[in-house]
Structures are given as structure tokens and as C-alpha cells.
Structure 1
Amino acid sequence: MAQKTKQKFYVEEGESIDECLNRMKKEGYMPVRRMEQPILKEIKKNGKTDVEVAKQQIIFEGKLIKD
């Protein structure tokens, strides 16, 4: 099975950025872009529903390393 030339890698819960980058390298990818995406949660106050950012999800886009 051929590997994709680009793939997204999410920094998992309890995983450091370095651990994610090492996982990418182990799978044969090098980081070419870092993105952050908000994880939202709903809060109900006085009958109203508000949305706030719970945390930021870090995502790396990896490019396949050619040998």
C-alpha cells in the first residue's frame, strides 16, 4: 500500500509536541505546516447557551520524506 504524500498529525491528549514530531518522523513524514484549531464547549447560564473555547488543538501537516 502506497503512503499518502501529505498527512495530518494531531497532538493527542497528554502528548507533547516533541512526541508528536517524533511519531511523524517514525512514520516517514516531516512537518511542513503547523495549525491550531479551537475546541469549543457549550456553557448554559441563566437559561442562555454560550460557547467558549475549551482548548486549542495543535495539528501538523506532514510531507512524506523521499529516500
Structure 2
Amino acid sequence: MKKEFEVLENETINDCLNRIEKEGYKVIKRTEKPIFKEEIEKGKTNYIPIGRKIIFQGIKDS
């Protein structure tokens, strides 16, 4: 069974990996998604990157 784990705001990647392991899962995939802020300047919409979201996919460790 697959489950997604997001690195939380006040959590390091290592903390997240330890949490995944404690729940009995093994990481099989890491995904990073950019976070954008929308700004409208002179009627034109601009998207400015302000961060990223890191998501790990895990499967139950048998």
C-alpha cells in the first residue's frame, strides 16, 4: 500500500524520513513541487517562485 508524506513546515528532510520509517514505510520516490505567488503588475499576471514542497512516496515495509 502506497502513502504520501509531505515534509512539514517546521521539519527537516531527515525528520520526515525518520517519521516515515517509524510508521513502517520505505521511501520509493521523492517529488518536489514549486510554490508560486501570483502578482498582478500593470494588468499582467506574474508568477514568482517562493518555495517548494517536498513529497515522499512510501510503501509498507514488509
How does the TM-score come out when normalised to structure 2? 0.89
Q: Determine the structure 1 residue equivalent to 2:20.
A: 24
The structure in which a higher percent of residues are strand is 2
Aligned residues: 62
Listed as ranges, the gaps of 5+ residues in structure 1 are none
Instruction: List 4+ stretches of structure 1 deviating above 6 A.
Output: none
For residues 51 and 37 of structure 2, the distance between their equivalents in structure 1, rounded to whole angstroms, comes to 9
**Cα RMSD, aligned residues only:** 1.0
Listed as ranges, the gaps of 5+ residues in structure 2 are none
Is 1:38 matched with 2:25? no
Indicate the percent of aligned positions where both proteins have the same amino acid.
44
